[in-house]
Chains A and B, each alone.
Chain A
Amino acid sequence: MSAVIERKTIIGKRVPKPDAPDKATGRTRYINDMVLPRMLIGKILHTDRVHARILSIDTTAAMALPGVHAVLTGEDSPDLRFGPTRDNFPLKSGKVRCIRDEVAAVAAETEEIAQQAIDLIKVEYEDLPPVFTPTEAMRDGAPVVHDDHPDNRSLGYEFSHGDIARAEAESDIVVEHQFEVPYVTHCCMGPSCAIADFDTTGKLTIWSQTQYPYNYKMDLAPALGIHPGDIRVIQPPVGGAFGSKLDVYPFEPICALLAKATRRPVKLTFSREEEFINSPTRQPVEFRIKSGVNRDGTLTFRSVDALLNNGAYTSWGPTTPVIQMRTFTGHYRLPAVEYRAQAYYTNMVYAGSFRGYGNVQATFVTASVMDMLAEEVGMDPIAFRLKNAQNSGEVTPQGSILDDCRLGECIELVAEKTDFLNKHKAYTDQRKQTARIQRGIGIATTIHNAGGAKIHKSDGCGTMLKLDDYARATLITGASEIGQGIDAVLCQIVMEELGIPIRDITIVNDDTALGPWDVGVHASRTTFIAGNSALRAARAARKQVLDAAAKQSNVTADQLDLREGHVVQADNGVPVIRLDKLLRQMHFGDEPELVMVTDYYEPNSVPEDKNHFGNLSSSWAHGAYVAEVEVDTETGEVRVLKMTVVQDVGRVINRLGIEGQIEGGISVSLGYALSEQLQISEGRVMNPNFRDYKVMTAPETPEIELHFIESDCKEGPLGAKGIAEIPAIVPAPAIANAVYNAIGIRFHAPPLTPEKVARALHGAPQQ
C-alpha cells in the first residue's frame, strides 16, 4: 500500500476554471462559431419608426431573390404573444411601437443574400404621435402605446410599513431629493445569437445563449404556438450574459419561426450595432425620496416614489422594483417606510434584467442619501451608518431575516483599512484650496439576497452525480455556466467530498434533455443553490462508497475517508483501497451496485405574499465599498485610484473565482458611475458602438483591495453565500460620494462624465 494520505481541503483555494485552457487556445466553440449542415442565415428587418401604423409590407422582391428561402412578417403569425405580461410579439403586425420593432425576417443561403433581401422589403407606414417619458405617458390624452392599456400604465408596486405621516411630523429634519438613473446596456462581447431546428415531428431544438434554460422553454413556447415540452434547449459556451439572457427576446422566436418555415436549421446573429439597439437595457428610473432623521442621527422614515419608463414592451426591467424595494425598505433600520413604483408604456426601447437587478438603481440613491443625511446632522459617514445599521436577529419591514448581520462589521473594517475618517476630513478641508486635482474618498453599502431569491414558486436546482469504473465523476446540474465559474465551484465541492481530482470531474449542464430543473443564473444564487444540491449529491455518493468500503474492511463508514482517489483510514490516512478498484468491485461484485445519485435542493426561503412580505432569500449579505478618486477640476475627469472592498461572502469556495467576480463587477459599476449611457433621442439610439458608448478598459481599472468576511452561513454550501451582484451595485455610489468629498458637488444622475462634472464645476447648465 502507498504512503499515508493527509486530508487537504480544496475549499478556499485558487482554482482555475476547467474550461479556461480551451478558451485560452481558441478551441472553444461558442454559439457564434457554430455551423450546422444545411444551415441558413436569418436576418431581421427592424423598423425605422418609433410609433407608426404599418400600412403595407411588400416582400415580393425579397422572395424572388435567388437564395432566399423564407420571408416572414407579422401577418404570418398575428396571434403569437409572449413576455412576462404577454404584451410582446415575435414579428409585429398592425403597428410598430419602438425602434426595435421587428417587421419582417428572412432566411437565406448566406449573410449577404439575407441582407440584400432585407434591403428589398418595402414597408409603408403612417406615423403616429409618439410618447417618450413616463411623465408624458401618464397625461390625459397621451398617445396610447397598447390599445389594451389606454392609460399607458404597466406594472405597479406599493409597500408601506409604519406610520409615515407621524414619523414625518416628529422628525427633526426632513429632506427630499430626486435622482435619475440612465439606460445602460450589458455589452456582452458575444453578440446575441440563436440557432433553431425543427425535427419532422414538430419538436424544436434551439441552441441558445439563455441563462435560464428550463423556464426559457415555458416562455418561448407561446411565442411559437408550440408545447414547452417540445422544446429542447442546448447551451453552447456564450460570450457573456450578465442578466441579458434571462428572458426571451423577439429574435429567438423569429429564428425558430424561420426554421419552421424552411424546415432547415437557421442561425440568427446580431451585429454590434443591432446588439446596442435591440438587446435589453438596465431599467432607467426617476426617483423621489423623502427621508427623515433626528438630530442624534437616527433615521425616522424613508418614502420613495419610483417612476419607470416601461418602453414599448415588458421584459424584466419593470419588475426590478421587487428588489429595489428590499433595499429601500431594509437597508438600515427604518421605523417607517413606504415605496411606490409605477411603470408607464412609452415608445422607447425596453429594459431587461442586468446584474444587480434593481438594487443598482436603489443603492445609488440610498448610498448618496445616507451621506447627505450624515452631513445634515453633522455626523461623519461612518458613524452615521453605524448608528443606523441593523444587528443580528433583526427583521426588515418586508421580512428579510438578518439572522447573522455583518453590516456594522463591514463598515468598521472598510473604514479602518482605508483610514477613511482621516482622509475624508483632510479632503473636505482641502476643498478650500484651489488645486487643480482634488482628491476624495467615499463609502457605499448595500444589502442583497445571498441565498437565492424565491421570485418563482420554486428556487430549486437538481443534480445527478455518477461515478464510473475508473473513479471519474460526472455531475449533471441544472445550473448554467455563462462564464461566472460555477463549473470550478461544483468541481471543488465534488472533490472535497469524494477525493476525486478536478481533472477527473466532468460537469454537464448544457442540454435541457439531460439536466434536471433549475431556475437560472440570476440573483447571485448559483453557488448557493446549485452548490447545495451538488454538495448533497456528493455526500450521498460518499455515503454509498464508504458504506461499501466499510463492509469489506470490518470498520464503520465513519472511520473511513476519501482522499486523492483512495479510501483511507480517517484517523491516520493509511490507504485502504483505491477508489476505482472499490467502484469496480461494487459494480461487478455479488450484489452489483452503481454509484449514481440524484438530489433536488429547494432553499428554505419563501415567496413574497401580496403585501411584499416574506423572507425572499435564504440568506442576506452586506458589502461596504470605499472609493478613492481624483477629480481634475479643469476637465471634469474623475479617476478612480482605488476601490477597497469588504463583503460578507459566507465562505470563500474558489478564491480565484470570487476575486474575478468582484473585480469584474466593479468594472461594470465603474462604467455606470463614470461613462456608460445609451443616448436615446426621441426613441432612437444615438451611440450604438464602442466608440460612443464607453465601457471601462484596462488603464482605467483602479487598484482593488479585497477583504472577505467569512460568516459561515448556516444554510449555505460549506458556509458560502451568493456574492456576484454586490460588486456591480456598490462601487458607483461610492464613487459619487467620493466625488462629493473631493469637490463638494452632489450628482443625482450618473454617469459622472467629464462634461457633466465640468459643467457643474464651472457653473454651466447641464444638457
Chain B
Amino acid sequence: MSMEVEINFSLNGIATQAHVPPTMTTLAMLREKFDLTGGKLACGEGECGACTVLIDDRTINACLMFAVDCDGREMQTIEGLASASGLAVMQQAFVDHGAIQCGYCMPGMIMQAKYLVEQNSGQQALTRDDIARGLEGNVCRCSGYTKVVDAVAAVVLEENQTGERAS
C-alpha cells in the first residue's frame, strides 16, 4: 500500500498522533483510525454538512480535507462536546426542542450551530434568519429545520440573558 505520513494534532483536547495515507480524508481518518463515527459520510462532496467538524475554530467539511492537513491543528468533533457532567448546551437544546428525528445529520448540524453562535459571541444577537442562513450548508431531510432553528435561537436567547457563552 501507499506510504503513510505521520501527523500530530489536538483531537478533542488530547495530543494525538496518527499515520495516514496522503489520500485519506479527515473524515475517513476520524471514522477508521479513531472510531469517531459521529461525523457521517452522507455525500462525500461537501454538499450536505453531515461531516462538519471544527478545525482551529472554523467549521469544515471533513470529507473534503485531507487528513495530512490536520497536522499541527486543533480539531473538535461532536464526540468532544459533551462532558462528564452532561450534554453541551447546544446538544441539550437540540434534544429539548425536538430537532432530532433520525439524527443522521445532527452531529454536523450541531457543530455548525455551535460555531455560528460562538463566532457571533459579543455581537448583536443572531436572528432566526441569521441562524437559518448560517445553517444552509447542512441538509436535514426529517426535521424541516424549524425545530433546529428553535433550538439554536433558544441558546442565543439564553446567552443574551446570562451574558455568558452558553454554547
A254 CA / B109 CA spacing, docked (Å)? 34
CB within 8 A of B104: which of A30, A689, A701? A30
Q: Which of A33, A240, A689, A698 contacts B135 (CB 8 A)?
A: A698
B140 interface hit (Cβ, 8 Å): yes
Of A186-194, A620-628, A630-638, the one touching chain B: A186-194
- Which of B38, B45, B101, B144: most chain A CB closer than 10 A? B144
A690 to chain B: which residues have CB within 8 Å? 43, 45, 47-48, 139
Question: What sequence of 0s and 1s flags, for each residue 660-675 of chain A, a beta carbon within 8 Å of any chain B beta carbon?
Answer: 1001111110000000
B44, A665: Cβ atoms under 8 Å? Answer: no
Q: Which of B86-144 contact A (CB under 8 A)?
A: 87, 91-92, 94-107, 110, 129, 131-133, 135-144
Contacts of B92 in A (CB 8 A): 24
Are A17's CB and B98's CB within 8 A? yes
Q: Which residues of A contact B100 (CB under 8 A)?
A: 16-17, 20, 23-24
- State whether A660 and B107 are in contact (beta carbons under 8 Å apart), knowing that A186-B141, A666-B144, A701-B132 are contacts in the complex: no
Q: Which of A87-95, A151-159, A478-486, A562-570 contacts B (4 or more CB under 8 A)?
A: A478-486
CA distance A656 to B147 in the complex (A): 9
- The complex places the Cα of A577 from the Cα of B43 at a distance, in Å, of 55
A238 in the interface (beta carbon within 8 A): yes
- List residues of B (47-65) whose CB comes within 8 Å of A's CBs: 47-48, 50
> Do B101 and A26 touch across chains, with their CB atoms under 8 A apart?
no
A25 within 8 A of B: yes
Residues of chain A contacted by B20 (CB below 8 angstroms): none
A704 at the interface (CB under 8 A from B): yes
Which one of B39, B44, B107, B141 contacts A695 once the chains associate, using CB atoms below 8 Å?
B141
- Rounded to whole angstroms, the CA-CA distance of A16 and B101 in the bound complex is 10
Among A191, A660, A699, contact of B101 (Cβ-Cβ < 8 Å): A660
Q: Is A663 touching B144 in the complex (CB atoms < 8 A)?
A: yes
CB-CB contacts below 8 Å: A656-700 with B: 656-657, 659-660, 663-668, 689-691, 695-699
* Complexed CA–CA distance, A698 and B143 (Å): 10
Selected from B31, B96, B102, B149, the residue in CB contact (under 8 A) with A190 is B102
Q: What is the distance, in angstroms, from A465's C-beta to the closest C-beta of chain B? A: 25
B28-49: CB near A (< 8 Å → 1, else 0) gives 0001000011111111110110
Which listed residue, B37, B41, B95, B144, touches A665 by the CB 8 Å rule? B144
* Given A19-B103, A666-B144, also A24-B47 (CB < 8 A): no
Q: State whether the Cβ of A14 lies closer than 8 Å to any Cβ in chain B.
A: yes
Structural contact, A701 and B144, CB atoms closer than 8 A: yes
Interface size class of B (residues with CB under 8 A): 35 or more
C-alpha spacing A191/B44, complex, angstroms: 11
Contacts of A483 in B (CB 8 A): 101-103, 142
The answer to whether A190 and B95 have CB atoms under 8 Å apart is no
With both beta carbons as reference points, the residue of chain B lying nearest to A669 in the complex is identified as: B144
Query: What CA separation (Å) do A239 and B99 show in the bound complex?
Result: 14
Residues in B whose Cβ lies below 8 Å from that of A485? 101
Cross-chain contact of A26 among B79, B99, B135, B140 (Cβ < 8 A): B79
* A29 CB, min distance to chain B CBs, angstroms: 7
Complex CA–CA separation, A659 to B148 (angstroms): 12
Q: Is B17 an interface residue (CB 8 A)?
A: no
- A17 contacts which of B38, B43, B101, B149 (Cβ < 8 Å)? B101
CB distance from B52 to the nearest CB of A (A): 11
Q: In the bound complex, what is the Cα–Cα distance between A271 and B87 (angstroms)?
A: 32
B77 contacts chain A at the CB level, 8 A cutoff: yes
Residues of B within 8 A of A384 (CB): none
Residues of B close to A666: CB separation below 8 A = 144
A691 touches B45 (CB 8 A): yes
The CA-CA distance from A242 to B104 in the complex, in Å, is 14
Question: How far does the alpha carbon of A526 sit from the alpha carbon of B104 in the complex, in Å?
Answer: 21
- Chain B residues within an 8 Å CB radius of A20: 94-95, 98, 100, 103
Residue numbers in A under 8 Å from B104 (CB-CB): 30, 188-190, 238-240
Residues of B within 8 A of A330 (CB): none
How far apart are the CA atoms of A691 and B137 in the complex, in Å? 11
CB distance from B142 to the nearest CB of A (A): 5
B94 near A698: Cβ-Cβ < 8 Å: no
Give the CA-CA distance A29 to B37 in the complex, in Å.
Answer: 7
B-contacting residues, A113-152, CB 8 Å: none
Q: How far is the CA of A696 from the CA of B48 in the complex (A)?
A: 11
Q: Decide if B106 touches A24 in the complex (CB within 8 Å).
A: yes
Interface hits, A242-279 → B, CB 8 Å: 242, 271-272
B78 within 8 A of A: yes
**Is the Cβ of A26 less than 8 Å from the Cβ of B39?**
yes
Indicate whether A667 sits within 8 Å of B40 (C-beta atoms), given known contacts A25-B81, A25-B82, A656-B98: no
- Asked if B77 and A663 make an inter-chain contact with CB atoms under 8 angstroms apart, the answer reads no
* Cα A698 to Cα B144 with chains together (Å): 8
A159-199 to B contact mask, C-beta < 8 Å, 1/0: 00000000000000000000000000011111100000000
B contact set with A: CB distance below 8 Å: 31, 36-45, 47-48, 50, 77-79, 81-82, 87, 91-92, 94-107, 110, 129, 131-133, 135-149
- 21 interchain pairs, CB-CB under 8 A: A16-B95, A25-B38, A33-B31, A189-B104, A190-B104, A237-B102, A240-B102, A483-B142, A485-B101, A663-B146, A664-B101, A664-B141, A664-B143, A665-B144, A667-B144, A690-B47, A691-B45, A696-B144, A698-B149, A701-B144, A701-B145
